[in-house]
Amino acid sequence: MSATLPSLQAWLEIRRQSIDEALDRFVPADGEPRIVWDAMRYSLLAGGKRLRPLLALAAAEAVAERQAQDPDRAATLALPAACALELIHTYSLVHDDLPAMDNDVLRRGRPTAHVVYGDGMAILAGDALLTQAFALLASEPREVPGLPASELASRKIAAIRLIAEAAGASGMVGGQAIDLRAADAGAAALDAAALRDMHARKTGALIRAAALAGASMAGAPPPLSAAIDEYASQVGLAFQIVDDILDVEGASADLGKTAGKDAAAGKPTYPALYGLEESKRLAAGCIDAALRALADAGLSGHLPALARWVTGRQS
Amino acid sequence: MSATLPSLQAWLEIRRQSIDEALDRFVPADGEPRIVWDAMRYSLLAGGKRLRPLLALAAAEAVAERQAQDPDRAATLALPAACALELIHTYSLVHDDLPAMDNDVLRRGRPTAHVVYGDGMAILAGDALLTQAFALLASEPREVPGLPASELASRKIAAIRLIAEAAGASGMVGGQAIDLRAADAGAAALDAAALRDMHARKTGALIRAAALAGASMAGAPPPLSAAIDEYASQVGLAFQIVDDILDVEGASADLGKTAGKDAAAGKPTYPALYGLEESKRLAAGCIDAALRALADAGLSGHLPALARWVTGRQS
């Protein structure tokens, strides 16, 4: 593991830079009317781990490598979809932070969008980020040398469908609805199976869609897509367990958001349900399963190190 | 005009029925988690004029007729896009009615979504309707006899792009942001040019996208798309002027929403800016321009009658 970490760090740095540059181009500073583009950029360009776009790019690269194709070309193909996923993730945070939802005032170390722009404009900025994600998925990349236009169109359609279904009423939004209802009802509202279902929708679905959309833009055949799906499902679950653990253990300064918030709100969490040590064992088990799925399909690249990074993070 | 009206009424009845059946199928009653699908259906299936889907279908049919193709086949091709436009329109109403925005309690003759489901769930239902629109655009129709899959994929991509750009930060959401700011600042905040720009974004952009997406799904060549665009721009403007007039003249029972609300909120309106009679003349001028654009391109079908219907409506 220590041998791969420096290479992961270098890769993370290069890819994060290309993601941030692309986000700045796809949600430009000169958009009109200015107020809504400013509010979108405020939340979008506030940093963040960029986990979903990184997963999309790593999956695209791994699929290309596995098929003896150029990983950099695959990453270029998947970059707009990767950015669209970050737009969707950011919109979900903006809406989730609203007083009518989680009522949070701190996010990525800064005041939340509604604190700065007001509730109405924050709702609109979220709506605009979500809509812009689909404009981006449909328009970029415009053309790719060596890839027939019809093949590019059908890969885009597949990615749009994957992402919209994962982000929608049966996926991410559905998970937020369950969460909202459970928070209203108190901590005892969800048992272990219901908690897992809620997280599979609320965070898991978009993480899966990220890896699958990256694989799809790189032209993954069904067996590779299935392996990527299993990998991303396990990574998504581990990510959520670690999130809950950090909410208990972390300090607000490291997290960039209010620590202990979930527990204080009476929300069901993995540590509350299983205890801290068992939660850590569960997360480690997910990563093992993710790595097995990759190995069985002959996939590697940065995907294994990215899975380990998810559980090792401190914020 | 009296000779075309019965045929328009018959067409409206048939097409509204197919739209309502398709909406019920695309946003099904057995979706899970139930709470968010229920909230989506509450607002979506509450009636409504279905202007945007009707425009999409009428444009698709007119383009087919103009090219000596089957109008019914074109309507079938455009039906999912037509429904997606109604999902997007409905989401915009749900969010617009929130206390943080217009704070309206009555819509389409029923209590608004946030009154019934709470603010948080109404935000999520709106998010889910918007997302489902793009899932629908990407997935339906799955295949069309006689149309190559690659041609279908490229028409879908064109429709998604058109609709996302019209609904997004520079279109509908941008118009809502301008409106929100203007309402905060009072009636004098917008002059005539700024009012027109606000409406062109807030309602005009999606009405244009509806007609254009219908035309695009029917395979319209650029000259026909340009004529449809001019037609729909004029119809959209007329629609907004009539909306403002009805807000002054109408009763709440007919409108299905609170009459006099805009004026009371100090929002800029056409009657406030131009007076009632001049506003009516402006609307009639738009319809004339819309009909000329059609005639010049040899387009007809139900588009002329639909334009007249927009200005003749009482609610």
Encode pLDDT of A224-238 as tens digits.
999 999 999 999 999
Pick from B32, B139, B173: CB nearest A36: B173
Identify all chain A residues contacting B149, using CB atoms and an 8 Å cutoff.
150, 154
CA A307 to the chain's CA centroid: 13
Going by C-alpha positions, the residue among B132, B307, B180, B297 that lies closest to residue B235 is B307
pLDDT above 70 for A248: yes
Digit-coded pLDDT (tens) for B48-67? 899 999 999 999 999 999 99
Pick from B33, B91, B150: CB nearest A150: B150
pLDDT above 50 for B4: no
Mean pLDDT of A5-13: 82
Digit-coded pLDDT (tens) for B216-273? 999 999 999 999 999 999 999 999 999 889 988 875 445 555 555 655 556 678 898 8
Model pLDDT, residue A70: 95
Distance between A100 CA and the closest CA of chain B, angstroms: 5
Most distant CA pair in chain A, distance = 56
Identify all chain B residues contacting A170, using CB atoms and an 8 Å cutoff.
31-33
Nearest CA in chain A to B98: A120
Identify all chain B residues contacting A213, using CB atoms and an 8 Å cutoff.
none
- Least confident window among A4-13, A127-136, B66-75, B76-85: A4-13
Distance between B40 CA and the closest CA of chain A, angstroms: 9
Place of tokens 């970050």: A86
Question: Cα separation of B315 and B310, whole Å?
Answer: 10
The model's pTM: 0.94
More confident site: B46 or B27: B27
Model pLDDT, residue A267: 66
Nearest CA in chain A to B155: A153
Nearest CA in chain A to B165: A135
Alpha carbon dihedral B102, B103, B106, B112, in 10-degree steps, equals 110
Pick from B100, B119, B169: CB nearest A40: B169
Pick from B91, B123, B154: CB nearest A95: B123
Contact A131 B128 (CB under 8 A): no
Model confidence at B22, pLDDT cuts 50, 70, 90, reads: very high
Contact A169 B137 (CB under 8 A): no
Residue-averaged pLDDT of chain B: 91
Pick from A40, A153, A201: CB nearest B150: A153
Give the CA radius of gyration of chain B: 19
Domain annotation for chain A: domains and CATH numbers: 5-312 (1.10.600.10)
Pick from B154, B157, B173: CB nearest A127: B173
Contact B180 A37 (CB under 8 A): no
List, in order, residues 6 or more apart from A103 with CB less than 8 Å away: A97
Contact A121 B35 (CB under 8 A): no
**Residue A106 forms beta bridges with which residues?**
A111
Model confidence at A254, pLDDT cuts 50, 70, 90, reads: low
Identify all chain B residues contacting A169, using CB atoms and an 8 Å cutoff.
31, 36-37, 40, 128, 131-132
pLDDT above 50 for A131: yes
- Least confident window among A257-271, B89-103, B124-138, B290-304: A257-271
CB contacts < 8 A, A to B, total 158
Digit-coded pLDDT (tens) for B145-181? 999 999 999 999 999 999 999 999 999 999 999 999 9
B63 conformational bin, left if phi > 0, alpha if psi -120 to 50, beta if neither: alpha
- Least confident window among B48-57, B80-89, B187-196: B187-196
Model pLDDT, residue B266: 61
List, in order, residues 6 or more apart from B216 with CB less than 8 Å away: B155, B158, B159, B162, B225
Contact A154 B149 (CB under 8 A): yes
Identify all chain A residues contacting B37, using CB atoms and an 8 Å cutoff.
169
Model pLDDT, residue B248: 83
Contact A177 B121 (CB under 8 A): yes
Question: Cα separation of B74 and A82, whole Å?
Answer: 34
Q: Torsions phi, psi of A186, nearest 5?
A: 95, 170
Identify all chain B residues contacting A123, using CB atoms and an 8 Å cutoff.
95, 98, 100-101, 123
Going by C-alpha positions, the residue among A140, A11, A135, A161 that lies closest to residue A79 is A140
Residue-averaged pLDDT of chain A: 91
Model confidence at A48, pLDDT cuts 50, 70, 90, reads: confident
Nearest CA in chain B to A34: B174
Pick from B120, B135, B153: CB nearest A164: B135
Identify all chain A residues contacting B185, using CB atoms and an 8 Å cutoff.
none
Distances (CA, A) of A260 to A95, A200, A250, A269: 20, 22, 8, 11
Which of A27, A35, A36 would best serve as a mutation to test chain B binding (most B beta carbons within 10 A)?
A36
End-to-end CA distance of chain A: 20
Mean pLDDT of A63-81: 97
Distance between B309 CA and the closest CA of chain A, angstroms: 30
Pick from B37, B119, B130: CB nearest A131: B130
Model confidence at B214, pLDDT cuts 50, 70, 90, reads: very high
Question: Cα separation of A105 and B259, whole Å?
Answer: 36
Question: Cα separation of B104 and B93, whole Å?
Answer: 10
Nearest CA in chain B to A92: B127
Burial A164-190 (b: 16+ CB within 10 A, else e): bbbbbbbbbbbbbbbbbbbbeeebebb
Model pLDDT, residue A6: 47
Model pLDDT, residue A259: 54
Digit-coded pLDDT (tens) for A149-190? 999 999 999 999 999 999 999 999 999 999 999 877 765 667
Nearest CA in chain B to A100: B120
Q: Are strands A106-107 and B110-111 parallel, antiparallel or unpaired?
A: unpaired
Model pLDDT, residue B187: 55
Nearest CA in chain A to B100: A120
Pick from B120, B174, B177: CB nearest A100: B120
Portion of chain B with pLDDT greater than 70, in percent: 91
List, in order, residues 6 or more apart from A192 with CB less than 8 Å away: A273, A274
Nearest CA in chain B to A140: B161
- Secondary structure (DSSP) of chain B: -TTTHHHHHHHHHHHHHHHHHHHHHHS-TT-SSHHHHHHHHHHHTS----HHHHHHHHHHHHHHHHTT--HHHHHHHHHHHHHHHHHHHHHHHHHHTSTTTT---EETTEE-HHHHH-HHHHHHHHHHHHHHHHHHHHHSSS--TTS-HHHHHHHHHHHHHHHHHHHSTTTHHHHHHHHHHHHHH-GGG--HHHHHHHHIIIIIHHHHHHHHHHHHHTT--HHHHHHHHHHHHHHHHHHHHHHHHHHHH--HHHHTS-TTHHHHTT---HHHHH-HHHHHHHHHHHHHHHHHHHHHHT--TTHHHHHHHHHH---
